[in-house]
Amino acid sequence: MLLDLFEDFFAGKIAITDLVLNFVFVAVVVLFALSSHEAAHGYAAYKLGDPTAQRMGRLTLDPRAHLDPVGTIFMLIFGFGWAKPVPVNARYFKNPRKDMAVTAIAGPVCNLLISFISLIIYRVLLSAFGNVNFQSQFFFNIVIYTLELFSYCHFLNLYLAIFNLIPIPPLDGSRLMFIFLPDKYYFGLMRYERYIKILFFILLYMGIISGPLSFVAGKVSDLMGFIVGLVPGL
C-alpha cells in the first residue's frame, strides 16, 4: 500500500499533500482493521465461555491493546499483516475444537463485513456526488478524500480477511481446517506450527504469496461490487 503511494510520489503522479493525507488514511484504516479483527476474536471467545481476553482488556478497539509492530508494518507496506494474537483458553469451551474454529473465524468475518459496508458507503457517495458540478474546490477535495478513505477501508479489511483465511498455522484459516482433520494430523501440524510460521513469513516477505492473495482479494472485491450493484443507483 504505502510502497505504491511512495512510488507514485517519486514518479510525480501525486503531490506531497496527497501523499501525507493518504498515508494518514492508510494508517488509520490499518489500526482500525487490526483492532477490529482481534476484538472480534476476543468477543467470540467471551461469548463461548472464555473470559481470558476480556480480563486482559482485549475486548476493545484501542489499537494499543492489539498491535504487533512487525505485523503492523507489513500491513502498512504490503496490505497483508497481523496483530498480537488474542489469548484463548480452550479449557473454557464446551467443544474446544469447534469453538476454537468459531473464535478464529470471527476475526476475518468481522473484516469482511467492514469491507462490504465500506464498499456500500463508497458506492452511495459516488452515486450521490459523482455527477455534481462543484463550485468549491474545498468541498470537491473533501468528497475525493472521503471516497479514498472508504476505498482503503474496503480493500485493506478485505486483504486482512483473505490473508488470515489461509489454512496455514498460525493463521485463522488453519483453526477452521483443523475441525475436519483427524486428531493425529491435527496434533502433528500443531507440533510444527512454529516452523511453518517462519517459512510462511519468509515466503510472504519474498513476495511469493502476495500475488495470489491479491488475485483472490480482487475477485472477492468484484463479487462484493456485483452484489452492491444489484441495488438500483449503485
Domain boundaries, the chain: 2-229
C-alpha grid cell, residue 55? 480480563
Distance CA 179, CA 191 (A): 17
Name the residue type at position 1.
M
Q: Binning pLDDT at 50, 70 and 90, where does residue 1 land? A: low
Show the cell assigned to 94.
464446551
- Residue 34 clears pLDDT 90, i.e. is over it: yes
Q: What average pLDDT does the chain have?
A: 87
pLDDT of residue 136: 85
C-alpha cell at 117: 459496508
Bond prior to 170 in cis (omega within 30° of 0)? yes
Q: Which long-range contacts (CB under 8 A, 24 or more apart) does 219-222 make?
A: 220/158, 220/162, 221/115, 221/119, 221/154, 221/155, 221/158
Residue 38 annotated as catalytic: yes
42 vs 212, more confident? 42
Q: What is the pLDDT of residue 40?
A: 97
Which of 215-223's residues contact partners 24+ apart within 8 Å by CB, and which partners?
216/162, 217/155, 217/158, 217/159, 217/162, 220/158, 220/162, 221/115, 221/119, 221/154, 221/155, 221/158
Task: Output 209 or 115, whichever has higher pLDDT.
Answer: 115
What 3-state class would DSSP assign to 212? helix
pLDDT of residue 197: 72
Task: Indicate the pLDDT class of residue 210, thresholds 50, 70 and 90.
Answer: confident
pLDDT at residue number 59: 94
Q: How many residues in total does the chain contain? A: 234
Please state, in angstroms and as integers, the Cα–Cα distance from residue 16 to each residue in 102, 141, 176, following that order: 44, 15, 44
pLDDT of residue 61: 93
What pLDDT, on a 0 to 100 scale, did the predictor assign at position 194? Answer: 73
Share of the chain above pLDDT 90, in %: 46
Residue 84 contacts residue 38 (beta carbons within 8 Å): yes
Let me know the angle formed at the C-alpha of 67 by 61 and 73, rounded to the nearest 5 degrees: 130
Q: Would you state the pLDDT for residue 187?
A: 67
Q: What is the mean pLDDT of residues 46-58?
A: 95
pLDDT tens column, 168-202: 877 888 877 777 777 677 666 767 777 777 777 77
**pTM above the 0.85 mark?**
yes
CB proximity list for 166: less than 8 A, separation 6 or greater? 173, 174, 213
Q: Tell me: the pLDDT tens digits for 95-146?
A: 988 898 899 999 999 999 999 999 999 999 999 988 888 888 888 889 989 9
Q: Of 4 and 146, which is predicted with more confidence?
A: 146
The active-site residue out of 7, 38, 148, 193 is 38
Q: How far apart are CA 186 and CA 96, in angstroms?
A: 13
